[in-house]
């Protein structure tokens, strides 16, 4: 007669330990994935806020050089720098008035704030010569 053979206690403990390690690794990967998704969502929201502001920045008031800042909502705030831009900086001669807009969208707690930078050019019209 053959003797029935099962797993020893040591084999069961080793298998349980291996399963626990694999499960912990899976949880870490899932947690990292959730964090990356949240980070992507934050950057997408910042891009939407930036596009909204840059699309409407010179609609109600003329665009003037300087710095302004404000809040989109309780989580997101912005800083906008408007500076004159000349084509000579890029090796071109452009007969148009062009402004460079540099927008920083900032979010998160003050100690660990994150930001996204957006930059664009805005044509205001031909250069006035006297």
* DSSP string over 38-64: HHHHHHHHHHHHHHHHHHHTTTSS---
What's the pLDDT at 101?
95
Convert the pLDDT of each residue in 34-76 to its tens digit.
Answer: 889 999 999 999 999 999 999 998 887 888 899 999 999 999 9
Residue 42: phi, psi to the nearest 5?
Answer: -60, -45
Check if the beta carbon of residue 80 is closer than 8 Å to that of residue 68. Answer: yes
Check if the beta carbon of residue 25 is closer than 8 Å to that of residue 33. Answer: no
Return the C-alpha torsion angle 107, 109, 113, 82, nearest 10: 50
Has residue 22 got a pLDDT over 70?
Answer: yes
CA 30-31-35 angle, 5° bins: 115
Convert the pLDDT of each residue in 73-93 to its tens digit.
Answer: 999 999 999 999 876 555 566
Up-side HSE of residue 117: CA atoms within 13 Å toward CB? 3
What residue segments make up the domains of the chain, in order of their start?
A: 9-126
What's the pLDDT at 62?
83
Q: Name the pTM for this structure.
A: 0.69
């Amino acid at each position: 007669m053959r003797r029935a053979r099962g797993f020893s206690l040591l084999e069961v403990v080793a298998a349980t330990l291996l399963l626990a390690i694999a499960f912990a690794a899976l949880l870490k990967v899932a947690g990292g994935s959730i964090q990356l998704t949240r980070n992507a969502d934050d950057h997408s929201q910042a891009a939407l806020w930036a596009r909204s502001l840059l699309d409407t920045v010179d609609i109600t008031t003329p665009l003037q050089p300087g710095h302004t800042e404000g809040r989109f909502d309780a989580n997101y705030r912005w800083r906008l720098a408007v500076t004159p831009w000349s084509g000579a900086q890029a090796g071109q001669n452009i007969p148009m008035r062009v402004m460079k807009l540099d927008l920083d969208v900032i979010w998160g707690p003050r100690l660990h704030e994150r930001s996204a930078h957006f930059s664009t050019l805005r044509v205001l019209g031909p250069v006035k010569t006297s």
